[in-house]
Each structure stands twice: as structure tokens, then as C-alpha cells.
Amino acid sequence: MNNLIQICRTFLFCVVFCWLLLCTVHVNARDNSIQIAGLIQQNGSFLSSPYTVSDTKILLSLDDLIDIALKNNQGIESVRQKKVQTEGQLTQAKSGYLPQLSIEGRYYYTERNDSAGSSLSEDPEQIPLDTDEVEAGDVIYGNANISQLIYDFGKTIDSIKIGKSNLDAASSQLQREVQDTVFQVKKGYFNVLEKKRLIDVAAEAVKSFQQHLDRAKVYLRAGVRTRIDVINAEVELSKANINLLRAEYGLKLAQVALIEVLGVTPNNGSYGLYDDKVNLDNILETMPPVPATLDKLLANAIGQRMDIIQLRHLTEAAESNYARAKGDYYPSITAEANYNDYETDLSLYKDSWEVGVACTWELFSGFHTKGAVAEAKGRLFENQAQLKKLQLAVVREVTESYLRTDENRESVRMALQTLELAKENFALAEKRYESGAYDVVEFNDAQLSLTRSRNELVVIYYGYLTAFASIEHAIGSYSRVNFR
């Protein structure tokens, strides 16, 4: 009984020690999370205003939006929790090399028939007829067992390798999710700016058609033009107002899409975005240059794309899993110690202890091990094939992004020339209309051509910025561009 009490004390000490260790880890993790939150607050000034100020409109830059998304995007949070799961799996794998300690305590009542004559003589004729004795009593039982794995032909080591590779893969997946989110924020940000500029173009067209309508009315009263010019101007003004309305609703849809990526509505919706304030006439001067050569981009992508790195780690995990599965063909050797303590008056139960080495070898499992090896081998080959497929897909994605960026830059250059011609054509059309040389249809065509040219330039310009961001996303990196 004293031994059992000592074992219980030792066990309680271990439990208290582990509890204190876990509390320390929890406190450190909480402190680290507080420090990380503090760093986010320092790097993103939006935290001091979007969530504490609701009655004042704030302006957010692209960097602010990225910080908001990294803090609130649910896709990132989902992948982060998957990483936590893989950390737990690695801890479970490492437990295989640590001692396994267990204790058991039971209480029960038992009755036992015992033949007293069996201990007197082996001759049945000399055994009395009524010699059965009955032992009954309470039994308090305690057991302590400790085991330690000695060698299992690498199965536990391979399990740990699998856990480490899966954790590295989860970390790479988290980083890729961050890159995806940053790209989606940039894409949404440029889309909002594009829709705002399209509203400006549509509003300018409305203003121009309104001036034309006013002028047509003056000409009508002066007898210079007919009623058809006024009606035509009113029709074109109505169309321009419809285009302006569509542009305004397009902006609202773009803002909703951006909020979806952010994961939260900043400042309860009372916010604005810093605009790049680019001048369409000097748009080439503000455009970032096309990145380095395509070959260099491809080399960077193959080396630093997080999804490629993730699949490499998963392939390493599959290799370790294949080795672990083959390890089931071999035995496992463990060292064990066991102590049994009884507190009872019954003579049957005696305190005992034992120490030894056990060897466990599953000689036949109904071909389960064979099937597990085949499955692990197939998964390994599958991951290797997926890795090659992904590398080819990355080459295509980087190439397409690069060519699209180069195409958009040249398109901007051509759109600028078209816009200049459209401006000149509209100026000439306006003068000829005022002089009576042009009819209203030709004037409207010139105005529509100018508006269309401006729209195309805006779309191509922000398409270039989006394509530029897609190059960074395709090679697995991102930079911050702050418009203030």
C-alpha cells in the first residue's frame, strides 16, 4: 500500500508539473498574440480609426486595406486553423518516442471457493467430504504501468517526418493564402478606382451633353437649328445619364466585392479610398515598368511559389508515409514495467511487480499491410505527378501574366493616341457644328467617340495595374503600393 501511495504521489507531481508547463505555454502564446496584434496596429494605422470612429469618414490606402484583410479574411483564418491541426498531429507523432505512463485503481467485492483438502494430499480418497472453504472480502486494487519504445524499425521516426513535412506544407499553404488575399485586395482596390474614374468620365459626358442641349435650345430660339437638334440632344443626354447610373452601380458592386475580400466593413461603411489621382494625359509616367525578363520571373516562380513548396513538402510526407507503411512488416520492441498493489485480506491477491522487454510482430494481417504499402506508394506517385503538373501550370500563369502586362502597357500607349485624336475630332466637330457645317448626328458621334476613348483608357490603365499585381502573385511575392 505504501508503494501505491508513493506511485500516486509521483503521478500527481507529474500532473501538476505538466499543468504548470501548459499554463506557461498558454501565457507565452497569448503574449505573442498580443505582440503580433501590436505590430499590426503599428503597421496599420487604420486600427486606431475604422473600429473606434463611426461618425467620421476615414480614408484608407491600399496598405490599410491589405492590413485589414490579413486580420479579418476568413480564408486566412481557415488555413491558419489547419496549420494548428498539423501542429497537433506532429505532437502526437512525437509522443511515440516518449514514455507512456498509466495508473489504474479499482474497488470490488469478491467471493471465492477454495478446496482446503487439495493442499493436504493428492489422494482423492484421503480428502474429507466437506472441506470447501469460502473466502470473501473487499479488494482495493492499484496498478502502475510504464512503457518505453526501444525500436520499431523507423516507423515512429517516419511518423515524425510526416508530421514535420505536413506542418511545413501547412505553413506554405498559409503563406500562399496570404499572397492570394493580398492579390485579391489589390484587384478589388484597382477595380474600385477604375469604377470611380468611369463615373468621372460618365459625369463629364453628361456635362458635355447638357451643354450641347443648352446650346441647341439657344440655336432653336435663334432660328439657327431645328427642333430635331434639341430632341436629339435630349436623347443623348438621357443615354449619358443612364451610363452614369450604371457606372455608379458598378462602383457599388465593386465595393461589395472588396468588402468580401476584407472580411469586414471598415468604420461601419463610413470610409473612402485614397485615389492615385492620375492624369489621363500623363498616364504613362505613373505606370510602374514591366518587371524583369520572363526567364528570370519563371526562375523566381519555380523557386519561391508557396503552392509549389507546399506540394514538395506533401511529397516528402508521402515518401515518409511509404516508408512507415513498409515498417509494419517488422516487429516493435518495447521495455515495460508494471506494479500491482492489493489492499485485501484474501490470500489469492498478492502484491507483485514485473520488468521486461516485449517484442510485437504481426506475422499476418489479412494483407492489410500490403494494401497500406500499395496505397502509400500510389499517393507518393500521385504527389510527384501533381508537382510536375503544378510547375507547368505556374510557367503558363507567369507567362500569361507577363504577356498581359506587356500588352496592356502597349495598349495604354495606343489608347492615349486614340484619346488625343478623339479630343481633336470633338473640338473640330464642335466648331463645325456651331458654324452650321456639321449636323447634330456627326457632333454626337464625336462626343461618343471621345467618351468611349476615355473609358477604354481608364479600363486599360487599371487593367495594367491588375496585371502587374498578377505577375507578383504568379511568382509568389507581393509589394505594397501606397496611393496617398
DSSP codes of every residue in 248-309: HHHHHHHHHHHHHHHTS-GGGG-EEE------GGGHHHHSPPP-S-HHHHHHHHHHH-HHHH
* More confident: 56 or 84: 84
> Tell me, what CATH number does 58's domain have?
1.20.1600.10
**pLDDT category of residue 283 using cuts at 50, 70 and 90:** confident
| Percentage above 90 pLDDT, the chain | 32
Is residue 223, in this structure, part of any structural domain at all? yes
Beta-carbon contacts of 55 under 8 Å, excluding residues fewer than 6 positions away, are 270
Which among 6-20, 32-46, 465-479 has the top mean pLDDT?
465-479
Structural domain range at position 377? 44-88+176-323+369-475
Q: For 94-118, what is the mean pLDDT?
A: 80
Determine the longest span between alpha carbons in the chain, in angstroms.
Answer: 150
Whole-number pLDDT of residue 84: 93
Whole-number pLDDT of residue 216: 82
| Percentage above 70 pLDDT, the chain | 82
**pLDDT category of residue 437 using cuts at 50, 70 and 90:** low
Contact 262, 73 (CB under 8 A): yes
Lowest mean pLDDT among 299-303, 339-343, 366-370: 366-370
Using alpha carbons only, give the angle 395, 78, 385 rounded to the nearest 5 degrees. 35
The answer on pLDDT for 206 being more than 70 is yes
Phi-psi sector, 107: left (phi>0), alpha (psi -120 to 50), beta:
beta
Is residue 468, in this structure, part of any structural domain at all? yes
Whole-number pLDDT of residue 42: 34
Is residue 35, in this structure, part of any structural domain at all? no
Is residue 483, in this structure, part of any structural domain at all? no
Lowest mean pLDDT among 123-132, 162-171, 177-186: 123-132
Whole-number pLDDT of residue 439: 67
Contact 133, 59 (CB under 8 A): no
Backbone angles phi, psi at 395, to 5 degrees: -60, -45
Is residue 180, in this structure, part of any structural domain at all? yes
Backbone angles phi, psi at 338, to 5 degrees: -140, 135
Task: Encode 121-157: b = buried (16+ Cβ within 10 Å), e = exposed.
Answer: eeeeeeeeeeeeeeeeeebebbbbeeeebeebbebbb
Whole-number pLDDT of residue 41: 35
Q: For 161-181, what is the mean pLDDT?
A: 92
Is residue 168, in this structure, part of any structural domain at all? no
Mind listing the pLDDT tens digit for each residue in 309-355? 999 999 999 999 898 888 888 888 888 899 998 888 887 888 888 89
Q: Which of 183, 7, 156, 151 is nearest to 90 (CA)?
A: 156
Q: Which of 312, 376, 318 is nearest to 168 (CA)?
A: 312
Residues in the chain: 484
Is residue 295, in this structure, part of any structural domain at all? yes
Contact 324, 158 (CB under 8 A): yes
Sign of the dihedral through C-alpha 196, 200, 205, 206: positive
- Grid cell at residue 167: 506542418
Mind listing the pLDDT tens digit for each residue in 218-252? 878 877 777 888 888 889 899 999 999 999 999 99
CA 228 vs CA 219, 232, 431, 442, 473: distances in Å: 11, 6, 19, 14, 54
Contacts 24+ apart (CB under 8 A), 136-139: 136/109, 136/110, 136/111, 136/112, 137/109, 137/110, 137/344, 137/345, 137/346, 138/107, 138/108, 138/109, 138/344, 139/106, 139/107, 139/108, 139/109, 139/110, 139/342, 139/343, 139/344, 139/346, 139/349
User: What mean pLDDT, rounded, does the chain reach?
Assistant: 81
**Domain count for the chain:** 1
Lowest mean pLDDT among 34-48, 110-124, 218-232, 283-297: 34-48
Whole-number pLDDT of residue 219: 77
Q: For 15-25, what is the mean pLDDT?
A: 44
Q: For 148-160, what is the mean pLDDT?
A: 88
Cβ-based burial of 391 (10 A; exposed 0-12, middle 13-18, buried ≥19): middle
Q: Which of 11, 93, 99 is nearest to 335 (CA)?
A: 99
Contact 263, 69 (CB under 8 A): yes
Contact 70, 261 (CB under 8 A): no
Contact 346, 373 (CB under 8 A): no
Q: Where are the beta strands (DSSP E) in 116-264?
A: 132-151
Contact 433, 443 (CB under 8 A): yes
Q: Report how far residue 470's alpha carbon sits from residue 394's, in angstroms, rounded to the nearest whole number.
A: 12
**Helix/strand number for the chain, H first, E second:** 10, 6
Q: Which pTM value belongs to this model?
A: 0.72
Is residue 184, in this structure, part of any structural domain at all? yes
The answer on pLDDT for 43 being more than 70 is no
Whole-number pLDDT of residue 121: 47
Whole-number pLDDT of residue 436: 67
**pLDDT category of residue 399 using cuts at 50, 70 and 90:** very high
